[in-house]
Structure 1
Amino acid sequence: MSIIGVLIVEDDPMVVEVNRGFVNAIPGFKVVGVARTGKEAVEMAACLKPALTLLDVYLPDMSGLAALQEIRRRGLPTDVLLVTAAQDAETVQNAFRYGAVDYIIKPFKFGRLKTALEGFAHLYSRLNKDGRLDQDDIDRLALGRTPVVVNEVGAAEMPKGLNEVTLKQILLFLIKDGGALSAEEVAAGLGLARVTARRYLEYLSQLGRVTLEMQYGSVGRPIKRYKIV
């Protein structure tokens, strides 16, 4: 398997070393460069041509999203994975609009990054093979870019009234918390209506992305709690 080069864009030296250690610990990946500003990120992406760039949003000279836009404007051949503390809906939405392949909120567990990189390695391998892709190949790859909808039986179309951005936001919220949350807690944390949060959580449960736990009290109905798998 060819080595996938990774550019880390991060201005905190300690975080750089942690991320470098994580990436280099995953078979098939190697850190090929470190940029500490948005300008350096664009210049190094053009020079090194890394297959993947791990990009922070908060940089000294510009927003990581601005750097991502410039990378796209120049048509640089690198995919971008956001690794950042930013978790507001607008930033998450714009990251995906500008072509990010994934979004990981700091602090994160090694397993989350490992899952993201292994998924990217599969995508990278299929797209760099010779030959044509049929519709089934493309469907698998397109769905595989979004861990939100990948499951054992495939991914059906989302129910009417649900959208991918909110679904990802809820997933990111559950990943960051790490515990079992009720629909009311998710709704309060993201500024959603409780009934809306419950619909997304039930859908994620159907996809197998969350487990459902019942919390029984002394009186009243049990509380449904959802935890990321």
Structure 2
Amino acid sequence: MRVLVVEDDPMVMRLNVEFLNRLEGFSLVAQCEDLPAARDVLAREAVDLLLLDVYLREHNGLALVRELRRQARDVQIVLITAASEMETIREAKHLGVNDYLVKPFEFERFQEALTRCQETFQRLSRLPARAHQRDVDSLFRREPQVPVSTRPGDLPKGLTTNSLTQVARAVAEHEGASFTTEAVSDSTGMSRVSVRKYLKHLVDRGLLEEAFHYGQVGRPSFTYRCLDADTLARL
């Protein structure tokens, strides 16, 4: 798929391009900092997928989405933005954007969004001149999701109770202060990748708060803070 990235933050742009380069089947057509430049690219280049920010200096990215819909351009759109207000989200849904990523985001979520777009693109390219119901269903119906248990004692696949307890004890050592993945890794002897999975699980359960910023080379960096020391101590 031919991809256009529209983002005015240089660090986020580098991150988007870095993530895009890690995926197969995608090629970068251009990267633009504003809507006028993006319109120029769209006027002269074939674009299959648009990765678009909403807050673009004095412009709003949704204006470009409206234009593409009026023109009936066959372009899939993924919004990647800090805009989390419901008014913007509702309009994006109404305009039929393919996915919506709220900054900060991780590679796995980026990969999921682009993979879905790629699957839709491939299914459309294989449709016959007159589609059958099963062909239409493959486009408009997603596979049913397997229910995920939310009981406190349940852990996602690959996580163990003993390791979770180790991570919880390491977190408790910081007594409410912010800490990094590296600090917990040093305390537990576990790899940073493994620690990150347990910290994400604790964030999902509402026991930790996660903060995010971009490093000097555009890579995401995370810090954490305990929100519920009592529950954490019982893990």
| Shorter-chain TM-score range | 0.5 to 0.7
Q: Does 1:58 align with 2:55?
A: yes
In the superposition, relative to structure 1, how do residues 39 and 71 fare at CA in structure 2: closer, same or farther (>3 Å)? farther
Who is 2:28 aligned against?
Answer: 31
Who is 2:205 aligned against?
Answer: 180
Moved more, 133-142 or 80-89: 133-142
SS of 2:100's partner is strand
Give the counterpart letter for 1:122 in structure 2. Answer: E
Which stretches in structure 1 are left out of the alignment for 5+ residues?
Answer: 154-174, 183-215, 218-229
Q: Does 1:87 align with 2:81?
A: no
TM-score by length of 1: 0.62
* CA deviation profile, 1:171-195 (whole Å, cap 9, x unmatched): xxxx9x951149xxxxxxxxxxxxx
SS of 1:75's partner is coil
Which 4+ runs in 1 deviate beyond 6 A?
A: none
Who is 1:10 aligned against?
Answer: 7
Q: Does 1:151 align with 2:176?
A: no
Number of aligned residues: 158
Who is 1:112 aligned against?
Answer: 109
Mapped partners of 2:205, 2:117: distance in 1: 28
SS of 1:7's partner is strand
TM-score by length of 2: 0.60
Mapped partners of 1:130, 1:137: distance in 2: 7
Mapped partners of 2:21, 2:144: distance in 1: 26
Q: Does 1:141 align with 2:135?
A: no
Who is 1:198 aligned against?
Answer: none
Mapped partners of 1:48, 1:96: distance in 2: 26
* CA deviation profile, 1:143-184 (whole Å, cap 9, x unmatched): 23xxxx74259xxxxxxxxxxxxxxxxxxxxx9x951149xx
Question: Which of structures 1 and 2 has the larger relative contact order (alpha carbons within 8 angstroms, sep 6+)?
Answer: 2
The structure having more radius of gyration, on CA atoms, is 2
* CA deviation profile, 1:105-155 (whole Å, cap 9, x unmatched): 1110000010111111111101012514321221231123xxxx74259xx
Cα RMSD for the two superposed structures: 2.8
98, 101, 115: which one aligns with 1:101? 98
Which stretches in structure 2 are left out of the alignment for 5+ residues?
Answer: 148-199, 208-229
8 Å Cα contact 2:79-2:101 kept in structure 1: yes
